[in-house]
């Protein structure tokens, strides 16, 4: 049975948070990127009759983890953080202070993940791929035909590389490796905007002409 994925745009720039269940009857859900508004996330979970069984973070940008501390504390759910970006979750001011953005630090327990790891949460097995370029420690989570790509790849766009630790060639290489690792029909559930597929982006995304030339 395919995963049940609910997209929940949250916060000032409508960053996508995802609620993921193994199937419709599952009493557990995994939350990917709780960017803002823990109350809305918890109400939405309650409406579907699911409790929060795990919280996964793709990368350290404030609009993806603004509700992490609240949601983790309020639900007691285990947390998985990308190891390369961990310092920012612990002390956001070092990264965002200069931008005048305040995000609550996450001080609780977490399992750190990196390239090649797998994790089990909510009855779902997720594979972790390191996809640096937008942020240095960015990871993507793959489960059952769904790729939670954070801010690496969008429908018709790619992640910006002008924030600290960003790099264009690194980003392009990350997308190249996703294309090599997963089939074209893979659903891409990204941090902003609508769902797409890996194949559609590799075929038509205007930022990926370099990759098409190689194929």
**Residue with the shortest CB distance to Zn ion:** 61
Instruction: Give the pair of three-digit tokens for residue 123.
Output: 């009855």
User: Per CB under 5 A, which region of 40-48, 57-65, 93-101, 115-123 contacts Zn ion?
Assistant: 57-65
Residue 33 binding Zn ion, by CB under 5 A: no
Quick one: 63 or 201, whose CB is closer to Zn ion? 63
- Those residues whose C-beta lies under 8 Å from the C-beta of residue 132, and which sit 6 or more positions away, are 84, 138, 165, 167, 170, 171, 174
Q: Report the relative pairing of strands 111-113 and 79-82 from DSSP bridges.
A: parallel
| Total of residues contacting Zn ion (CB under 5 A) | 2
Please report where in the chains the tokens 């759910």 appear, as a residue: 77
SS3 for the chain is: CCCEEEEEEECCCCEEEEEEECCCCCCEEEEECCCCCHHHHHHHHHHCCCEEEEEECCCCCHHHHCCHHHHHHHHCCCEEEEHHHHHHHHCCHHHHHHHCCCCCCCCCCCEEECCCCEEEECCEEEEEEECCCCCCCCEEEEECCEEEEECCEECCEECCCCCCCCCHHHHHHHHHHHHHHCCCCCEEEECCCCCEEHHHHHHHCHHHHHHHHHC
Quick one: 61 or 187, whose CB is closer to Zn ion? 61
Quick one: 50 or 60, whose CB is closer to Zn ion? 60
Work out how close the CB of 63 gets to Zn ion at its nearest, in angstroms, rounded to a whole number.
7
In the list 61, 166, 178, 188, the residue contacting Zn ion (rule: CB under 5 A) is 61
User: Per CB under 5 A, which region of 45-53, 82-90, 149-157, 181-189 contacts Zn ion?
Assistant: 149-157
Work out how close the CB of 185 gets to Zn ion at its nearest, in angstroms, rounded to a whole number.
26
User: Per CB under 5 A, which region of 33-41, 66-74, 141-149, 151-159 contacts Zn ion?
Assistant: 151-159
Quick one: 21 or 61, whose CB is closer to Zn ion? 61
Work out how close the CB of 215 gets to Zn ion at its nearest, in angstroms, rounded to a whole number.
27
In the list 28, 33, 85, 151, the residue contacting Zn ion (rule: CB under 5 A) is 151
Instruction: Tell me the C-alpha distance between 33 and 138, whole Å.
Output: 12
Work out how close the CB of 4 gets to Zn ion at its nearest, in angstroms, rounded to a whole number.
25
Work out how close the CB of 167 gets to Zn ion at its nearest, in angstroms, rounded to a whole number.
14
User: Per CB under 5 A, which region of 17-25, 44-52, 94-102, 147-155 contacts Zn ion?
Assistant: 147-155
Residue ranges that bind Zn ion, judged by CB under 5 A? 61, 151
């Amino acid at each position: 049975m395919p995963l049940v994925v609910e997209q929940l745009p949250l916060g000032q720039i409508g960053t996508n948070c995802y609620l993921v269940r193994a199937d419709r009857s599952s009493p557990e859900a995994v939350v990917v990127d709780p960017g803002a508004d823990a109350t809305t996330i918890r109400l939405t979970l309650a409406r579907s009759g699911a409790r929060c069984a795990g919280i996964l973070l793709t990368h350290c940008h404030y609009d993806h983890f603004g509700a992490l501390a609240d949601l983790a504390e309020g639900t007691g759910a285990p947390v998985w953080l990308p190891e390369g970006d961990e310092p920012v979750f612990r002390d956001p001011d070092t990264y965002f202070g200069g931008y005048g953005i305040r995000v609550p630090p996450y001080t609780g327990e977490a399992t750190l993940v990196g390239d090649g790891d797998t994790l089990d949460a909510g009855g779902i097995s997720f594979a972790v791929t390191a996809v640096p370029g937008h942020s240095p420690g960015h990871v993507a989570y793959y489960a059952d035909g769904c790729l939670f790509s954070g801010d690496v790849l969008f429908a018709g766009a790619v992640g910006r590389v002008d924030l600290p630790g960003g790099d264009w060639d690194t980003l392009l290489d990350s997308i190249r490796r996703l294309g090599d690792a997963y089939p074209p029909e893979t659903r891409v559930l990204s941090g902003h905007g609508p769902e797409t597929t890996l194949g559609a982006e590799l075929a038509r995304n205007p930022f990926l002409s370099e990759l098409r030339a190689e194929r």
